[in-house]
Chains A and B, each alone.
Chain A
Amino acid sequence: MKYLILIYHNQKAREAWEGSSEAHRTEGLRAHAALVEDLAGSGELVVSGALSDPSQARRVLVGEGRTTISDGPFAEVKEYLAGFYLVECESADRAVEHAARIPEAAFGLVEVRPVLVDTGPDM
């Protein structure tokens, strides 16, 4: 099964991150690097990525034959997607184990969601 591990950020986490010591931040980045390395080594990593600041986001609206683009920042956004890991694991527990190694999990901002498959049982 594939699982998407979603990492969210919010104001509080951002302030905590920016206010933390250099050593603490280095440690956080190392945790991500080590996770990527381990997932690639075990053959479980499909793809991972960190997302730009939400101020770089563009919203796309198609209607009445026109495409309208609106730029950020979107003030109403309290929590936004900051990064992701797409992994393929033997079990959901295993995916959760990986997710628990993500530093943002300390803020409760990490989510694991199974990706739907296109196979199905006979009924």
Chain B
Amino acid sequence: MEVEDLLREHAPQVLAALVRRYGGFDTCEDAVQEALLAAAVQWPTDGVPANPKGWLTTVASRRWTELWRNGAARRRREETAALLTPGDPEQVPAVDDTLSLLLMCCHPSLTRVSQVALTLRAVGGLTTAEIARAFLVPEATIGQRISRAKQRIRASGAGFRLPSPSERDERVAAVMDVLYLIFNEGYTASSGAALNRVELTAEAIRLTRQLRSRLPDDGEVAGLLALMLLTDARRPARTGPDGALTPLADQDRSRWDTQAIADGVTLITETLASAPLGPYQLQAAIAAVHDEAPRAQDTDWPQILGLYDLLHSLAPGPMVTLNRIVAFAMVRGPRTGLEHLAAAEADPALAGHHRVHAVRAHLLDLAGNHEAARTHYELAARHTLSIPEQRYLNARAAQLGPSAS
């Protein structure tokens, strides 16, 4: 195992051990971060110690003592001593540590960006610098988000323990949303832009696997993991040489990752048969139907439409409405799709949205109205906030002939 992988594997366990021993999440987290940095410097030259976790725990404990001697840390500890009851590390099942940490990092008192940064550092074992590079912001910005997040956790009095069952579902849902956000943040179209950046998609998949090993019976966690695997499987084929997105219909399917697809399909099939249905599972099921089609024209659109109907009733949202219309048009024809699109636009969340223009352009194109299709592709290109999507939309507009304007 590479040093980096070893560090990331042990980071949450070492942090959990420290929090159990000393209490005070924020100081422990700082101490672990410094131990990880020390290991990242020493291990590649001195060799990996026989007991890496023990080494990290010892160094982190030493560092914690130094921080504790520092007055500020002592004051903080006094404040939190009443709130945290450190237990005996041997008596608590270690299997819950990563889950407790994930839930703490995604505490409802934190903003979403803080939850993301703290999760990547405390559970993912990434350094502040690595997180900053991944998000293309200065290190100070991420450092501030993390320290602010830790202040809020302290102020909220959240302890290092699993929340009550009534609260748990909501908290786990927040963790899943954060992990999916990390995944999507890393789902960049160009590999060039990702150079020297931590692979956030791989990190999100790794953390979701950890979450799943702690909650093996949670259908939505399994659904999320399957969704990530089935989406990431298409990555090698989703970008053209010009950096424009290649839509599913035009992707070279021989470049898809067949192993990831097989794993994802198995996982979602088993989950759908055993767990209560949820939105992540449905999205994974839709991804699976796409991935299983050898050619775009083999896609089982009636099945996709059925899944979107379910998703629409279970977790309605503007993007679900739009994607459902695309599936509907593939089954019933583009003109019927266009009628539904006109009706859907009454929703203020969709009025003027660039994806409405893009879907309209696509359906007009399929209906043979190339002139109008081009106009709407151009309109969508002007409104999108995504560079690869903009390139794709402009390319589609250009394919349909020169602009009249």
Please list the residues of chain A having a beta carbon within 8 angstroms of any beta carbon in chain B: 1-2, 40-47, 88, 90, 114, 116-123
Q: Which residue of chain A is the closest to B111 with respect to CB atoms?
A: A90
Q: Which residue of chain B is the closest to A86 with respect to CB atoms?
A: B137
- With A40-B144, A122-B238 as given contacts, are A46 and B137 in contact (CB-CB < 8 Å)? yes
- With A42-B148, A43-B144 as given contacts, are A88 and B387 in contact (CB-CB < 8 Å)? no
Contacts A43-B148, A88-B135 given; 4 further ones with Cβ under 8 A? A1-B385, A2-B136, A116-B384, A123-B245
User: Which of the residues A1, A45, A120 comes within 8 Å of B389, measured between beta carbons?
Assistant: A120
CB distance from A37 to the nearest CB of B (A): 11
Query: Is the C-beta of B390 less than 8 angstroms from some C-beta in chain A?
Result: yes
Please list the residues of chain B having a beta carbon within 8 angstroms of any beta carbon in chain A: 111-114, 117, 135-138, 140-142, 144-145, 148, 184-190, 193, 231, 234, 238, 245, 247-248, 355, 358, 384-390, 392
Q: Which residue of chain A is the closest to B147 with respect to CB atoms?
A: A43
> Does B189 lie within 8 Å of A120, measured CB to CB?
yes
> Does A43 lie within 8 Å of B142, measured CB to CB?
yes
User: Which of the residues A45, A116, A118 comes within 8 Å of B141, measured between beta carbons?
Assistant: A45
User: Which of the residues B136, B141, B190 comes within 8 Å of A43, measured between beta carbons?
Assistant: B141
> Does A43 lie within 8 Å of B390, measured CB to CB?
no
User: Which of the residues A1, A118, A123 comes within 8 Å of B387, measured between beta carbons?
Assistant: A118
- With A43-B141, A45-B141 as given contacts, are A120 and B245 in contact (CB-CB < 8 Å)? yes
Tally of contacts, chain A with chain B, CB under 8 A: 77
- With A42-B148, A46-B137, A46-B138 as given contacts, are A119 and B238 in contact (CB-CB < 8 Å)? no
> Does A119 lie within 8 Å of B189, measured CB to CB?
yes
- With A116-B386, A117-B387 as given contacts, are A43 and B113 in contact (CB-CB < 8 Å)? yes
Task: Give A58 to B193 CA distance when docked, in angstroms.
Answer: 30
Task: Give A88 to B148 CA distance when docked, in angstroms.
Answer: 15
> Does B385 lie within 8 Å of A117, measured CB to CB?
yes
A-side contacts of B188, CB under 8 Å? 118-120
A-side contacts of B135, CB under 8 Å? 88
Q: Which residue of chain A is the closest to B137 with respect to CB atoms?
A: A46
> Does B187 lie within 8 Å of A119, measured CB to CB?
yes
CB distance from B307 to the nearest CB of A (A): 15
User: Which of the residues A2, A43, A114, A118 comes within 8 Å of B145, measured between beta carbons?
Assistant: A43
Task: Give A84 to B189 CA distance when docked, in angstroms.
Answer: 28
A-side contacts of B388, CB under 8 Å? 118-120
B-side contacts of A116, CB under 8 Å? 384-387, 390
Task: Give A122 to B234 CA distance when docked, in angstroms.
Answer: 9
> Does B238 lie within 8 Å of A47, measured CB to CB?
no
B-side contacts of A44, CB under 8 Å? 141
> Does B386 lie within 8 Å of A123, measured CB to CB?
no
B-side contacts of A41, CB under 8 Å? 144, 148
A-side contacts of B392, CB under 8 Å? 120, 123
**Which of B135, B136, B190, B248 has the largest count of A CB atoms less than 10 A from its CB?**
B136
Task: Give A120 to B386 CA distance when docked, in angstroms.
Answer: 6
Q: Can you list 29 A-B pairs with a CB-CB distance of less than 8 A?
A: A2-B136, A40-B144, A43-B142, A43-B145, A46-B137, A46-B141, A88-B113, A88-B135, A88-B141, A116-B387, A116-B390, A117-B385, A117-B387, A118-B188, A119-B184, A119-B188, A119-B189, A120-B188, A120-B189, A120-B245, A120-B388, A120-B392, A121-B386, A121-B389, A122-B231, A122-B238, A122-B248, A123-B247, A123-B389
CB distance from B4 to the nearest CB of A (A): 24
